[in-house]
Amino acid sequence: MTNKPSSLNNKSIVFIGFMGVGKTTIGEAVAKKLNRDFIDIDQEIEKEFQISTTEIFNIYGEKVFREKEKALISEYCKCPEKIISVGGGAFLQDEIKNLCLSECIVIYLHLSWEAWKERLDLIIDSRPVLKGRTLEETEQLFYTRQNIYASHHLKVETDQLTVDEITDRIVDLIQKTQ
């Protein structure tokens, strides 16, 4: 379901999508082009705990990570004109999903499984959710997770596109919708 917003106004933009699709990279690049502040929720969580996401999962557990994730997103999504990248599991929590959809413009970055597989080596060490899964189990997670991204305002296909190309498309899209 794609709910096109009537106007982007000064709402913050939230990037969603599966781990590794490029939310952090693209979010930062879009923010730079639009001259807006960039907030990566995972980086904010890591700053608060002063340790990596993997260590947070190992020491405190996923539940603690998810609580901090919800608290930070709830705070930032009410601020205007930000570019916010949330982790690929953020929309598992309906409260986060509903808040982002009502307060912000939610942009879903999509990558096909075939293209995503090629990126696994780049991210496996820093994504605790992927650790210890077979490729088949990861594929299953990839497809199951697509359901939580189905509610969004705009969807951007990123297969075979460079970071610059995706960034330009999104900036264009945002400016056209305004």
Ligand X SMILES: O=C(O)C1=C[C@@H](OP(=O)(O)O)[C@@H](O)[C@H](O)C1
Which parts of this chain interact with ligand ADP (CB under 6 A)? 17, 19-25, 85, 119, 122-123, 158, 161-163, 166
Contact 118, 27 (CB under 8 A): no
Using CB under 6 A, pick the residue from 23, 36, 97, 152 that binds ligand X. 23
Helix (H) or strand (E) holding 63: helix 62-76
The residue count for binding ligand X (CB under 6 A) is 12
Sheet holding 105-110, edge to edge: 37-40, 82-85, 13-16, 105-110, 154-157
CB of 82 to ligand X, least distance (A): 16
Tokens of 2: 């794609």
138 is in an annotated binding site: no
* 158 is an interface residue for ligand X by CB under 6 A: no
88 is in an annotated binding site: yes
Rounded-to-integer distance, Cα 136 and Cα 172, Å: 36
Q: Compute φ and ψ for 105, nearest 5 degrees.
A: -95, 120
**What does the per-residue mask of binding to Mg ion show for 17-36, with x meaning CB under 5 A?**
------xx------------
145 is in an annotated binding site: yes
Rounded-to-integer distance, Cα 69 and Cα 175, Å: 29
Binding site listing for Mg(2+): 24
User: Which residues lie near ligand X (CB under 6 A)?
Assistant: 19-20, 23-24, 42, 53, 87-89, 127-129
User: Which residues lie near Mg ion (CB under 5 A)?
Assistant: 23-24
